[in-house]
Structure 1
Amino acid sequence: MSAATGRAPDLRELMDDPDVDLDRLERTYAHFRVVNAVLAGWRSLYRREIRPLLDRHRTTTLLDVGSGGGDVTRRLAGWARADGLSLQVTGVDPDPRAHDWAERAGEEPGVSFEQTDTTALVRHGRRFDVVVSNHLLHHLRDEEVLALLADSTRLAGSLVLHNDLERSTPARLAWGVLALPAARRSLLRHDGMVSIRRSFTREELDALVPDGWSVQRRVPSRLVLRHGAGEDVRAR
């Protein structure tokens, strides 16, 4: 399927099935540590967008929405700790399987996990300096994306970054080959192919989001939806 044929939000990832094999699901969470480290681009996002907001003496709070296995949550906290900066990262996911996996990885300074979602956080009046997500947008229908963005702006005091895939034929073909070794024992290849087909193009996401949000394209085949601190936010 090419990008020109439109996204396919009705397709379902196996990891979203409550009855999926738990061993294969947990192997997928384990693979995410490598996939996100290599392809998701969080190191550059941390350096450019998040680190300038941090301080040695004042604790900055960051919310990771849909944190899954928690690898990005832990990585952000670890980078800040290595830089001598004070950052408290909270990873939230409504899926009990993801929450259990993240908790079982053990305690780490500056990291906590909660089984909840943004709707509940807004309802309880929670606030964070920064809100981020990784590979969440493509799981959502258009109206759910808009609800997430509304929640994000209510929760974030400074900056929001939603980092996701961009749908393209080269991305689909490349993932089909790269993920072959993991195809039999995890959900990584199947769900990755579905994720790409469910993802937005830059033009689609740009047309959907409200005023005040910017859509940035990054390599390889990535989109960052941004709101808040700095000068990159677009006035539309």
Structure 2
Amino acid sequence: MFKNVLIILLLFLALQSKVYPQSTINLSFGFPKINWDYSGNFDGLRTVYRNGWSITASGLKIKKNGFIYGIDLGVNRYGNGFQFEFMRYDLKEIHHFSILPLIGYEHHLRETKFSVRFNSAFGIGIIPIENKFYESDSTFQIRRVVKQNADGSTYSVPLYDLTFSGSQEIKSRIFPLIKPNIELHYSIGGRSTLFAKGTLGISLVEDVIVRDFPEIIYESEEYQVTHSTSLSYSCLEIGYSYRVK
């Protein structure tokens, strides 16, 4: 998947040099983090892997007065799974694509090689992953411990006597996304800059992904829990910017 995304981004950058002959192209790599919300009566079963990586490409037109407009394309990928006590259950990763027109402003700091860009983008996020369902899943019974009978013989029992039924469902495969960010650029030549970028991805849908376990049986007691995320995220990125002309 990573290879295909990289090819798409490179094609996008090549097209930008034709569409915006006096524009700037940016490519950045980041480390986003999402949050999961919880409800229910079984706090021990937790979602893990909140962190991930992102690749963002943008094509910008920057006018002499500092006004910026353009388009921002990106892909975010997060690990995925849940954990009980010391045992972790990994799932297929979560990833989403984004297509975001943007506007902003660039300010050059006098007598330095530094400049600051303030951008705000609004568009859509797209999630291509499939739903997943569980029926009396005994994953957390795989790990076992050995016990001893009174006569000295041994037997094994699950470390955690836990089974669950439920689902992971994508409630909004296309969701509106606002992406404000600030970039600090350092010039390394007549046309190139390196930059650090702080980004917020603000989803306008409360529950994009919902992981619902209406039946958790732990040591013969029944519980239920729901994990959900809007896919809103915060991200620190590093990147390279090149002025085409």
TM-score normalised according to structure 2 size: 0.28
* Bigger proportion of residues as strand: 2
* Bigger proportion of residues as helix: 1
Task: From the CA coordinates, give the structure whose radius of gyration is larger.
Answer: 2
